[in-house]
Each structure stands twice: as structure tokens, then as C-alpha cells.
């Protein structure tokens, strides 16, 4: 098999992988909300209180930012899972975010993200940081 067909096969398998799991939805949320600062994309993964928080935030920043607008210079954000708690109807994830601004200033935040299965899809239903 030629290398380009092998790569195409790998990309196809990855593209078709199941993203409807609590962890995948949680990590997609972190990617969109924290790493890309894209509240609209994060909203698509949210429900309930999390969706309300995001809609409020989108309203607050709408005067200075066009929905979906990307920034030229974003801080480098890395995340590390630090814990998980499973209940009968939800999965709660704990993460440690490391935020590096312009290579000089580093901040850490702890993030808690709660997911639930709603109508057959896993959604982020609440998130908080401290």
C-alpha cells in the first residue's frame, strides 16, 4: 500500500471514531472553549446550565467580538486529567489547565466539567474553574 493511501486510511478511521463519549465530549469542549476561545462551538456541545453560562458569555462579549472570530495570538493552554467520578447518569471530570501567555507568564486553573447523556448524546451540562 502506498504511504499516501495508508495516511488516508488512518485519517478516515480517526474521522469516523466515536466522539459521543463523556471523555471525548469533555475534551472537545476544552479544545473549543479554552484552547480556541470559541464559545459558539463549545455551546454546540452543551446543555442546561453550561449552555446558559455560554450564552451569557457570548452576549457579554458580542460588543467587542464577532461570533466565531479567532485571535491572532492565543495563550498556550495545556490540560491534564486529574480525576473522574462516575454516577448513574453523569460523569464528572477534573482537569488542571496550564496557561502560558507569551512564553513568560504561567497560570494554572482547576476545571470541573460535568457531562450527562441527553437524548442519546453526551453533553457538557456544567463547568466551573477555580
Express each pLDDT in 62-71 by its tens digit. 888 765 566 6
Cα–Cα distance between 44 and 16 in angstroms, integer? 19
Tell me the chain's radius of gyration from C-alpha atoms.
17
For the chain, where are the alpha helices, taking DSSP H only?
A: 3-15, 22-29, 39-43, 48-61
State pTM to two decimals: 0.80
**pLDDT at site 59:** 92
**pLDDT at site 102:** 82
**pLDDT at site 109:** 95
Average pLDDT value for residue range 106-129: 96
Amino acid at each position: 500500500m502506498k504511504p499516501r493511501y495508508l495516511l488516508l486510511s488512518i485519517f478516515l478511521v480517526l474521522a469516523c471514531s466515536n466522539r459521543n463519549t463523556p471523555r471525548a465530549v469533555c475534551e472537545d469542549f476544552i479544545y473549543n472553549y479554552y484552547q480556541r476561545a470559541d464559545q459558539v462551538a463549545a455551546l454546540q456541545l452543551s446543555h442546561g446550565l453550561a449552555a446558559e453560562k455560554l450564552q451569557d458569555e457570548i452576549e457579554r462579549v458580542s460588543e467587542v467580538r464577532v461570533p466565531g472570530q479567532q485571535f491572532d495570538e492565543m495563550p498556550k493552554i495545556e490540560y491534564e486529567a486529574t480525576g473522574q467520578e462516575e454516577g448513574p447518569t453523569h460523569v464528572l471530570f477534573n482537569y488542571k489547565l496550564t496557561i502560558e501567555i507569551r512564553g513568560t507568564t504561567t497560570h494554572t486553573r482547576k476545571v470541573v466539567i460535568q457531562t450527562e447523556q441527553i437524548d442519546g448524546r453526551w453533553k457538557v451540562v456544567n463547568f466551573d474553574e477555580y
